Amino acid sequence: MTKVRDITSYMDELFPRDTAESYDNPGLLTGAYDRDVNVCVVTLDAALDKVRFARDNNAQMIITHHPLIFGGISDVCEENISGKILSELIRSDISMFAAHTNLDKNHEYSNDILARRLGGDNIIHIDGIECGVVCEMKSDVTLKEYIDLVKMSLDTTGVITYSDPSRTVRKVFVQGGAFDEDVIPYLAKQGVDTVVSGEIKHHIMILLEQMGISSLVAGHKATEDVFMQNLADVLTKKFPDVSFLVSL
């Protein structure tokens, strides 16, 4: 039977932990490596409802994108929400594993997926950009048409932009989660006309606008849920004896 360590070892092959950012905390956060696994929940965050979903479905493991623990913690008291979630995981004997910025940096399992979901073609990986990809639209569309595509493709209720909806979208930079403003010089060199991300700071959106680059904020969760859906499919092929349940 598949064990926790089998799944975590495979995850480490795909997303080496030493590629994670220094502030990050990927890896096994609760549970034991030698635990048998026949049900595993794949989700973006270890929120309390996701943990209870795992418990109710008799899961032995949860894989998340965002680690529940960042830095040190002073207690696991159930009077605070993190303590309550950790206590629930421990009581339910559920092992939790996170792959965060180390997953983001493997484009094949992150932003390539998002770019294709958003109609992108000819995906380009730019030297100097660790997270995010440039892609081209198969045909020119207006920004308004592209916003409608983004909303439909990500099943999100809205997109924030300051840009003229009549602009043309041809070359797009896609970065799930939060936009890294350090990549802006690279985007200008590549002739990118549109940026799509989950979060973009207000002043950065204004800066991009002054550069003639449209920016779309589609939601952190919406732009990264697609990573987890794909990951569950990949893990199902690798471990057919385990039921991987996606909870979005």
pLDDT tens per residue across span 104-129: 999 999 999 999 999 999 999 999 99
Tens digit of each residue's pLDDT (9 = 90 or more) over 16-47: 999 999 999 999 999 999 999 999 999 999 99
How far is CA 67 from its chain centroid? 12
Of 137, 105, 134, residue with least CA distance to 121 = 137
Query: What DSSP assignment string belongs to 139-206?
Result: EEEEHHHHHHHHHHHHT-S--B--S-TTSEEEEEEEEEEE--GGGHHHHHHHT--EEEEEE--HHHHH
3-state class (DSSP) for residue 43: strand
Of 205, 167, 201, 208, residue with least CA distance to 187 = 208
Q: What is the CATH number of the domain that holds 45?
A: 3.40.1390.30
Return the pLDDT at 71: 76
Tell whether the model's pLDDT for residue 227 goes beyond 80.
yes
Q: Residue 75 — very low, low, confident or very high, per pLDDT cuts 50/70/90? A: confident
Q: Are residues 26 and 92 in the same domain?
A: yes
Q: Are residues 91 and 156 in the same domain?
A: no
Of 163, 171, 157, 173, residue with least CA distance to 207 = 163
If one counts the domains in the chain, the total is: 2
Q: Are residues 126 and 170 in the same domain?
A: yes
Distance CA 235, CA 233 (A): 6
Q: What's the pTM?
A: 0.95
Q: Are residues 196 and 234 in the same domain?
A: no
Structural domain span for residue 195: 107-217
